Amino acid sequence: MNDQSRDGASGRVGQVKEVTSLANPIIKDIKALSQKKARDESRSFIAEGLKLVIDALDLGWTIRTLIYAKTAKEKPAVQQAAARAVARGALVLEVSEKVLVSLTRRDNPQSVVGVFEQRFLPLAACRPKLEETYVALDRVRDPGNLGTIIRTADAAGAAGVILVGETTDPYALETVRATMGSVFAVPVARATAAEFVAWHRATRAQVVATHLAGAKDYREIDYRGHPVVLLMGNEQAGLPDDLAADADALARIPQAGRADSLNLAIATGLMLFEARRHLLTLERRR
């Protein structure tokens, strides 16, 4: 490993370490972030792509390491991102294509990768306000579903996502990829089922649970006048009876055809855009 100093075209980049060896211990540590255990222990995760890294820096996320491909080192946007990362005390690594391939497990990796600190919003800090919508996911298992839901929650202007019970990790590489950057925009909280029920009692929020046996057409529920929490069931088992019984309404999305149910992320998308229909216009963006 060599240390270099460089003056970027658009800002001074200080300590940049050049790494070409897969055996480098820093690279090994970053690679280990593909495992949940290492992510939990270090409370960090990987996000790929220059745009994502810039968005995360803009939103004030703490960056620990910024890695860029040697082939991208002359790009002003890369130099700028590296300078910002250095200014925030992050380690900056200039690496070979081979190292990036191994970090991201992709044949055509992005030229910039960031290692960020995880953030979970304490459930008590979720204080739903009028016109706010939260999504609560009971034991969501599939990383692609969770990532897509976080992205869709962002697009619909939801205030946050609450993970209820044992769920897949929102900071897994596959989940972060599926969020397309929305992981940095949507607060995520965690709760046990009992904590969720207690939180519901303590808030003025209306919990609308979705259930295949729901008595109400989801389009006939009044989502105005109070904050709304859309509670979605597990992919295989659906919503357990205790959570369904605690909800203020049980909604069903009418279906035709032979499919038993909708995919969880699709059902969540339909619910979100219906619950926020009166708040979404082509003109209004957050």
Name the residues that contact ligand SAM, by CB under 6 A. Answer: 210-212, 214, 232-233, 235, 238-239, 252-253, 255, 261-262, 264, 267
What's the CA gap between 57 and 61, in Å, rounded? Answer: 6
Distances (CA, A) of 239 to 217, 236, 250: 17, 9, 11
Residue 150 sits at the vertex; the CA angle it makes with 147 and 151, to the nearest 5 degrees, is 85
Q: Which one, 3 or 260, has the nearer CB to ligand SAM?
A: 260
The separation between CA 211 and the C-alpha centre of its own chain, rounded to angstroms, equals 24
Closest residue by Cα to residue 150 from 120, 188, 190: 188
Cβ 233 to ligand SAM, closest distance in Å? 2
Cβ 21 to ligand SAM, closest distance in Å? 45
Q: What is the dihedral of CA 118, 78, 109, 41, to 10 degrees?
A: -20
Question: For helices 50-58 and 76-87, what crossing angle results, to 10°?
Answer: 40
Q: Which one, 80 or 206, has the nearer CB to ligand SAM?
A: 206
Q: Which one, 131 or 235, has the nearer CB to ligand SAM?
A: 235
Cβ 214 to ligand SAM, closest distance in Å? 6
Cβ 285 to ligand SAM, closest distance in Å? 28
Q: Which one, 97 or 235, has the nearer CB to ligand SAM?
A: 235
Q: Which one, 119 or 252, has the nearer CB to ligand SAM?
A: 252
Q: Which one, 213 or 282, has the nearer CB to ligand SAM?
A: 213
Closest residue by Cα to residue 93 from 106, 82, 101: 82
Cβ 225 to ligand SAM, closest distance in Å? 22
Residue 229: strand pairing partners: 134, 207
Residue 225: DSSP 8-state: S
Cβ 227 to ligand SAM, closest distance in Å? 19
